[in-house]
Amino acid sequence: MGAEHIRGADGDSVRRARTADLPVLGEMLARAFADDPVAAWSSPRAAPRRRMLERFHTARARHFLPHGEVWMTESGESAAVWAPPGAWKTTLRQDLELTACMLSPRLLPRAPLVARGLLGTERKHPEEPPHWYLSTLGTDPVAQGRGLGTRVLEPVLAHCDRDGVAAYLESSKERNVDYYARFGFRVTEVIRLPRGPQIWLMWRDPRR
């Protein structure tokens, strides 16, 4: 699995997340995605959105934690949730757990629409060639602009380049397309959620 901590030239370190980190990551990612277009589409009202996001991102990180490639800054200000090749598909049980995040009186009427949109997005996920999947990248709003997102991306991107393996992600914000392009990702398709926002599907070939 490799080193548990990686220290940068500036002294900051990133590490693999542990089960005990899940509450911190869920709360941080809820803040990071509070203004996300897909989050607002899923929960138009801000009040239930925070709790929904916290539950969703905690569950998502827990699903991928056993693969050992959920990377975070030491104090949890930023995190990247990765799935290795062949391990990005969720199980029925995991899908039900994610759907349960919508089970509140205010969100329940939208649950079928949201489920249809997210399943449609997953169907667009390429089966081949083998690739790493960046499920989530988020940085606490109060810590943005310090390069922390780059730091938590670096371990797996370096792994991709070393082994000659591609990477894939879905961006829910157009302004993030240029950010991901800096790391070698390119847009392969733009899709629209039902009565909702666009999503940019992005692919990265390994750098030699």
CA distance 34 to 14: 24
Which of these, 26, 32, 17, 21, lies nearest to 67 by C-alpha position? 17
Q: First-to-last CA distance in the chain?
A: 22
pLDDT score, position 5: 64
pTM: 0.90
Report the pLDDT averaged over residues 141-161. Answer: 95
Q: Out of 15-24, 40-49, 79-88, which region has the weakest mean confidence (pLDDT)?
A: 40-49
Find out whether 58 and 24 touch, Cβ atoms under 8 Å: no
pLDDT score, position 9: 44
CA distance 206 to 203: 10
pLDDT score, position 104: 66
pLDDT higher than 60, residue 79: yes
Q: Out of 3-7, 122-126, 171-175, which region has the weakest mean confidence (pLDDT)?
A: 3-7
Q: Go through 139-160 and write b for each residue having 16 or more CB atoms within 10 A of its CB, e for each that does not.
A: bbeebeeeebbbbbbbbbbebb
pLDDT, tens digit (0-9, with 9 covering 90-100), for 50-67: 998 999 999 999 999 999
- What token pair was written down for 26? 């869920």
Report the pLDDT averaged over residues 29-56. Answer: 91
CA distance 99 to 122: 14
Report the pLDDT averaged over residues 101-115. Answer: 70
- What token pair was written down for 31? 């803040």
CA atoms within 13 A on the CB side of 118: 19
Report the pLDDT averaged over residues 33-58. Answer: 90
Domains of the chain (ranges, CATH numbers): 14-204 (3.40.630.30)
40: how many CB neighbours lie within 10 A of its CB?
17
- 74 phi/psi in degrees, rounded to 5: -55, -40
C-alpha 174, offset from chain centre = 15
